[in-house]
Amino acid sequence: MRLLMMGTGTFAEPTFEALLNGPDPVVGLVTQPDRASGVQRGSTRQVGKGMKNIADEMGIPVLQPDSIKTSESLEALRAMKPDLLVVAAYGQILSNAVLEVAPLGAINVHASLLPKYRGAAPIGWAIYHGETHSGVTIIRITLGLDAGDMLAQEAVEILPHETSGELESRLSVIGARLAMDTIAKMNAGPVVGTKQDVSLVTKAPKLCKEDGVIDWTRSAHLVSCQIRAMQPWPTAYTYWHPFNKPSVRLIINASQAIDSTTELSPGSYIASEKQLLIAAGNGTVLEVLELQPAGKKRMSVDAFRRGQLLQSGDRFGAEVLA
């Protein structure tokens, strides 16, 4: 079976490497055009070896079209004569014309327990909403967004302090294994998938910077989930409003909900000699463990407190408080 890989970022790398080490020939790689990485690109994708670098080392032809739907792109795909397209976090919607390039169509390595979290950022939104489990689903690609029949699925527990980046690393390895298992079954004969229950569908749209704004009316547990979900990008942030001083933008890198309650309104600083405690929704309390003031490096709360005076009456919240 002639395989064509389509993917971008570190989530796709283990699948690509598994294909290259597998029994079937890989005829090419389609990946996103070279762009600035990380925050400059405005992407949730982490930077690893690089899909293009992996392909170049193995002498695999690489296509990097701005649009996979153009006649030139389709002609280049057809010239490779793939039997199956293997897709993982490619970053472009595949048209029917693209899917018809390969006689066996396309399979997708998707980082969620479908039908939950269809879309571009399934890992981040699963953590954001406080899910206890995530996983990988291999689907047959159709024209609907992540709506195809499920060919394989495996669930994992989301660890208590795991960030999106850390969970992605774990799921990428599972995805590679499930993809190889699915391809082996397809080599042996037709594979029948399982229909998704449309009543259970939830969405996971691409993350944007605004998704990092902390809403202190959420419970401390869910605020902590948001902070983990926004790592490594776009990061969760809030504004510290010291009494009678200009506000300071703070990225919150690590936190935890603690077993305590308060009557202070959400976003209020809770006086403490050593900890940085903030009131959250429903009387819950969040402890900030690591943060990054605007224009400075990440630091511990101890380091932050040595350079800043926190006092009762300080607030955390939007850039302009209501």
Range of the domain at 99: 3-200
Do 25 and 128 reside in the same domain of the chain? yes
Do 74 and 147 reside in the same domain of the chain? yes
Which pLDDT score is estimated for 44?
Answer: 45
Q: Which residue has the tokens 């690590």?
A: 254
Which pLDDT score is estimated for 19?
Answer: 98
Do 143 and 289 reside in the same domain of the chain? no
Q: Give how many domains the chain has, as a whole number.
A: 2
> Considering the domain boundaries, does residue 60 fall inside one?
yes
131 C-beta neighbours (distance < 10 Å), count: 18
CATH number, position 21: 3.40.50.170
CA angle 253, 255, 258 (to 5 degrees): 175
Cis peptide before 234 (omega within 30 of 0): yes
Q: Band the pLDDT of 40: cuts 50, 70, 90.
A: very low
Contact 62, 28 (CB under 8 A): yes
Tell me: the pLDDT tens digits for 144-165? 999 999 999 999 999 999 999 9
Rounded mean pLDDT of 307-321?
92
Contact 236, 212 (CB under 8 A): yes
> Considering the domain boundaries, does residue 45 fall inside one?
yes
Q: What are phi and psi of 84, to 5 degrees?
A: -145, 135
**Residue of 41 and 247 predicted with greater confidence:** 247
- Find the range with the poorest average confidence among 34-38, 218-222, 280-284, 315-319: 34-38
Question: What's 198's DSSP letter?
Answer: G
Q: Band the pLDDT of 226: cuts 50, 70, 90.
A: very high
Rounded mean pLDDT of 52-68?
96
> Considering the domain boundaries, does residue 179 fall inside one?
yes
> Considering the domain boundaries, does residue 24 fall inside one?
yes
Do 48 and 95 reside in the same domain of the chain? yes
- Nearest alpha-carbon partner for 9 in 64, 52, 46: 46
Which pLDDT score is estimated for 38?
Answer: 44
Q: Which residue has the tokens 């350079």?
A: 307
**Residue at which a domain ends, from 140, 173, 200:** 200
Which pLDDT score is estimated for 47?
Answer: 65
Do 163 and 16 reside in the same domain of the chain? yes
Do 134 and 228 reside in the same domain of the chain? no
pLDDT at 43 over 50: no
Which pLDDT score is estimated for 46?
Answer: 58
Do 151 and 285 reside in the same domain of the chain? no
Rounded mean pLDDT of 224-241?
97
**Residue at which a domain ends, from 141, 170, 200:** 200
Amino acid at residue number 113:
L
How far is it, in rounded angstroms, from Cα 204 to Cα 134?
13
Contact 150, 193 (CB under 8 A): yes
pLDDT at 209 over 90: yes
pLDDT at 309 over 70: yes
> Considering the domain boundaries, does residue 296 fall inside one?
yes
How far is it, in rounded angstroms, from Cα 271 to Cα 280?
14
- Nearest alpha-carbon partner for 107 in 141, 83, 80: 141
Rounded mean pLDDT of 117-137?
98
How far is it, in rounded angstroms, from Cα 167 to Cα 71?
37
Residue 268: CB partners within 8 Å, gap ≥ 6?
Answer: 262, 278, 279, 314, 315, 316
pLDDT at 107 over 70: yes
Rounded mean pLDDT of 311-315?
94
Q: What are phi and psi of 48, to 5 degrees?
A: -120, -135
- H or E stretch including 223? helix 220-229
Rounded mean pLDDT of 299-316?
94
CA distances for 156 relative to 67, 136, 314, angstroms = 34, 9, 40
> Considering the domain boundaries, does residue 16 fall inside one?
yes
Do 65 and 189 reside in the same domain of the chain? yes
> Considering the domain boundaries, does residue 322 fall inside one?
no
Do 168 and 216 reside in the same domain of the chain? no
Question: What's 121's DSSP letter?
Answer: -
* % of the chain exceeding 70 in pLDDT: 96
Do 143 and 264 reside in the same domain of the chain? no
CATH number, position 301: 3.10.25.10
Tell me: the pLDDT tens digits for 5-27? 999 999 999 999 999 999 999 99
Tell me: the pLDDT tens digits for 254-275? 999 999 999 999 999 999 999 9
Rounded mean pLDDT of 129-134?
98
**Residue at which a domain ends, from 200, 229, 246:** 200
Do 139 and 218 reside in the same domain of the chain? no
Average per-residue pLDDT for the chain? 95
Do 82 and 133 reside in the same domain of the chain? yes
